[in-house]
Amino acid sequence: MQLTVVGSGYVGLVAGACFADLGHPVILVDNDQTKLGALRSGVIPIHEKFLPELLRRHLGHNLTLSDDLAAAVGKSDAIFVAVGTPPTGTGEADLSYVESVARGISGAINDYKVIVEKSTVPVYTSDWVRKIILRNAAAPDSFDVASNPEFLREGTAVADFLYPDRIVVGADTPRCARVLREVYAPMTDGSYYRKEDAIPAPNGAQIPPPLITTSAKSAELIKHASNAFLAMKISFVNAVASVCESVGANVQEVCKGIGTDSRIGSRFLNPGIGYGGSCFPKDLMAFRAVARECGYDFQLLDEVMRINDDQRQRFLRKVRSALWTLPGKRLGVLGLAFKGGTDDIRESPAILLVQALQQEGCRIVAHDPAAMARAREVLGSKVELVDSPYEAASGADALLILTEWEEFADLDLDRLRKQLKYPIVIDGRNLYDPDEMAAQGFTYYSVGRTAATPAAPIKAAEAAAGRS
């Protein structure tokens, strides 16, 4: 099927590349000439596994770039709208880009089209998109509006798209549902997975994935409710971690006991410094705003957000507890992205913590495998960015682990200890075992576990001698 994807941001670029890999000819439309020029030159704007491979494979073939929305709509069977929906000052989703695209589509409808919400939008958006298109003189039977929410995790978005837990199609007419079933047929009939060059399946992938057909309103709610529930699990386990620290329990043991319950599951039961990124904070505020507009005060979401903010403050208190005073202290920081596997620093708890520590007079030396260029734009020159974890640790009063990159969980601990001025590690992601860290000579703080100290602390002078 001929498809158009409007918006070359995170969702649009991944969706366009993946639809092309399914075998559909795709036109990726954006009115930003700088973005289009960079893509044509082979510059990938986001750090995402398998995405460069798909763009090399399909750009200029199954995947073409355009700034002409009307021409693309005229050629296409389905148009996926993947433009931004940033939060307003009061938390609602700003749908002005969606409205602008709807107006642009309306004048280009020349036969039956399916307009598909791919952006995360509040309930009733499909109704409004339909109203906007009708107001601009499109015939009522010439189009349908559907909701097809994405459930992509940054860092694994391509695999998440092609090997999803489920495909949700929110369609209010049988004709619309048939079109979207055909779009996803290479996945639901298994033909894509038999291709020799298919993207490798992640462990535990369900092949073929189930396709769930709902009303458009239900699909819109599924996306917001899913993200809210996952954020709630993160805040819940962080609250449990706080209790564990108070009573001397081990949160990882508690999580294992909770997560093996089939009614609960272990995913997202990972204590840390809180959630961030482009989805959870924005979607929770938007979902809360929708609930209030409908007359329901969703206080549970307020508490989820409060716990998330408090988790960063608890980590700051942990740093103060480990170092006593902060002004003038040199801190090594590992991780600036909001999670491992991505260069996205939007609402990153790591960035927020670095900024808070700077305000307290700390000197920050940081390393991240992918996010340093983006972090530089936000943090400026006051934070020293270095090329390796060991450079970040060199001469530091303590080392802070703020992002769960795999390489941070496999450091040479003997080398790391010798690099540090004092062998103190404050781990916001629980990447190491406290007993092992103590045996290696570290004073080790983590989340929801008792602090560990070595039986015979290595003197600072010995550590300094090791560095020389």
Max CA separation in the chain (angstroms): 80
To the query of whether residue 18 is one of the catalytic residues in this protein, the response is no
- Tokens found for residue 440: 């290696």
Q: Residues with Cβ < 8 Å from 174, sequence gap 6 or more? A: none
Instruction: Report d(CA 391, CA 20) in Å as an integer.
Output: 42
SS3 content of the chain, % helix, strand, coil (to 5): 45, 15, 40
DSSP conformation class of 258: H
- Residue 331, phi then psi, degrees to nearest 5: -120, 125
Chain-centroid distance, C-alpha 83: 16
Instruction: Report d(CA 402, CA 399) in Å as an integer.
Output: 10
Contact 282, 86 (CB under 8 A): yes
Contact 326, 337 (CB under 8 A): no
Burial of residue 233, with CB atoms counted within 10 A of its CB: 0-12 exposed, 13-18 middle, 19 or more buried: middle
Q: Which candidate, 76, 2, 75, 64, places its Cα nearest to that of 30?
A: 64
Alpha helices in 112-215 (DSSP H): 125-135, 157-162, 174-183, 185-188
Q: How many other β-carbons are positioned within 10 Å of the β-carbon of residue 32?
A: 12
- Among residues 255, 279, 294, 362, the one annotated as catalytic is 279
What residues act catalytically?
279
